[in-house]
């Protein structure tokens, strides 16, 4: 019989997994000839806590009716999502070797008709939350108890359609919807607050009628607490988790550097990146 995992063990295993996946993101960016590294590394801890602890999914049956739905509204996070889906067993990891190549199922933005486990084809910003509204309303119509999670970028929240969706989620009382914003403080051209200010960001969501929670997007203890204690799906208020993250998290020369929104790695940079990432690996497995 499986032994109950302690909280320390859980945090250890998630941190360890996140380290593995950060390495895979770097390796995939090398295969792909470049990628959205900054936003992949800022979002990966969120994806790890969701895909390895929170989401009810069945990789062998990607369209299982009772699954939780995850929509990557910041579609340029495919560099992070695809290795996660491969590692969870939605498809063989070797397939990622074709990334960005002619006729590959995998590119900078995910395609639901080509990649098992991808709920919606995304890439153009400001679409995913609206799609999630339709999914959440459908779930309510079917009296389902699964939840819809939707990960947005912070720069994405410049799009007016995000706020159309925010209004609708509150209007339709979609407690089965959880938006997550990867608040890494950067859009392509620079800091969000310099390009087009989003603050006071939390208050904006609250004013739109959302239950808004701020969290350190790289602290697994906090992330576990927040996602484990979301209001029930029948609650009348949608929740947004504003995850404060660091663009390029884990790689010293990328952290907080807007220029690493998209970039490529030569072998020296790849070596240094992997070296940095190893430093995030938790030291030793705690035993109960």
Question: Which of 168, 212, 241, 277 lies at the binding interface for other proteins (CB under 8 A)?
Answer: 168
Nearest to 66 by CA among 134, 131, 4, 143: 143
Nearest distance in Å: CB 175, other proteins? 16
Size, binding site for other proteins by CB under 8 A = 32
Nearest distance in Å: CB 172, other proteins? 8
Contact 192, 155 (CB under 8 A): yes
Question: Which of 45, 119, 154, 276 lies at the binding interface for other proteins (CB under 8 A)?
Answer: 119
CA dihedral 265, 84, 123, 101 (to 10 degrees): 60
What distance lies between CA 56 and its chain's CA centroid? 15
Nearest distance in Å: CB 133, other proteins? 5
- The conformational region for residue 20 under phi > 0 = left, psi -120 to 50 = alpha, else beta, is alpha
Nearest to 40 by CA among 227, 261, 244: 261
Q: Which of residues 198-237 bind other proteins (CB under 8 A)?
A: none
Contact 37, 29 (CB under 8 A): yes
- The conformational region for residue 247 under phi > 0 = left, psi -120 to 50 = alpha, else beta, is beta
Report if residue 143 touches other proteins, rule: CB under 8 A: no
Report if residue 161 touches other proteins, rule: CB under 8 A: yes
Question: Which of 81, 86, 132, 170 lies at the binding interface for other proteins (CB under 8 A)?
Answer: 132
Report if residue 57 touches other proteins, rule: CB under 8 A: no
Report if residue 145 touches other proteins, rule: CB under 8 A: no
Q: State the distance between the two ends of the chain, measured CA to CA, in whole angstroms.
A: 16
Question: Which of 48, 135, 226, 240 lies at the binding interface for other proteins (CB under 8 A)?
Answer: 135
Cα 156 from Cα 9, distance rounded (Å): 35
Where are the alpha helices (H) located in 179-260, listed in sequence order? 192-195, 201-207, 220-228
Nearest distance in Å: CB 113, other proteins? 6
Question: Which of 31, 137, 188, 274 lies at the binding interface for other proteins (CB under 8 A)?
Answer: 137
Closer to other proteins by Cβ: residue 95 or 137:
137
Closer to other proteins by Cβ: residue 207 or 259:
207
Report if residue 103 touches other proteins, rule: CB under 8 A: no
Report if residue 259 touches other proteins, rule: CB under 8 A: no
Report if residue 156 touches other proteins, rule: CB under 8 A: no
Nearest to 170 by CA among 209, 228, 211, 112: 209
Nearest distance in Å: CB 132, other proteins? 6
DSSP lists the bridge partners of residue 148 as: 69, 177
Report if residue 153 touches other proteins, rule: CB under 8 A: no
Residues of the shown chain interacting with other proteins in the complex, contacts defined by CB under 8 A:
111-113, 119-121, 123-124, 126-139, 141-142, 160-161, 164-165, 167-168, 171-172
């Amino acid at each position: 019989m499986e032994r109950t995992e302690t909280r320390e063990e859980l945090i250890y295993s998630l941190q360890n997994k996140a380290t593995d996946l950060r390495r895979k993101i770097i390796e995939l960016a090398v295969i792909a000839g470049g990628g959205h590294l900054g936003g992949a590394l800022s979002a990966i801890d969120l994806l790890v806590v969701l895909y390895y602890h929170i989401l009810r999914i069945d990789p062998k049956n990607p369209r299982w009716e009772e699954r939780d739905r995850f929509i990557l509204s910041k579609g340029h996070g495919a560099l992070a999502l695809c290795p996660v889906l491969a590692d969870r067993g939605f498809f063989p990891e070797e397939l990622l070797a074709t990334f960005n190549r002619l006729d590959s199922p995998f590119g900078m933005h995910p395609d639901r008709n080509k990649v098992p486990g991808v709920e919606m084809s995304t890439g153009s910003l400001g679409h995913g939350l609206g799609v999630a509204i339709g999914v959440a309303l459908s779930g309510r119509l079917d009296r389902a108890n699964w939840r819809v999670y939707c990960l947005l970028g912070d720069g994405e929240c410049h799009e007016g359609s995000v706020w159309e969706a925010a209004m609708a989620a509150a209007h339709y009382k979609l407690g089965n919807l959880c938006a997550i914003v990867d608040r890494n403080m950067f859009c392509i051209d620079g800091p969000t607050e310099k390009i087009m200010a989003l603050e006071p960001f939390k208050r904006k969501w609250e004013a739109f009628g959302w239950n808004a929670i701020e969290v350190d997007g790289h602290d697994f203890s906090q992330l576990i607490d927040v996602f484990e204690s979301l209001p029930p799906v029948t609650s009348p208020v949608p929740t947004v988790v504003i995850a404060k993250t660091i663009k390029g998290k884990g790689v010293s020369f990328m952290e907080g550097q807007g220029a690493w929104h998209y970039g490529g790695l030569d072998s020296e940079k790849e070596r240094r990146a992997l070296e940095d990432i190893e430093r995030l690996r938790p030291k030793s497995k705690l035993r109960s």
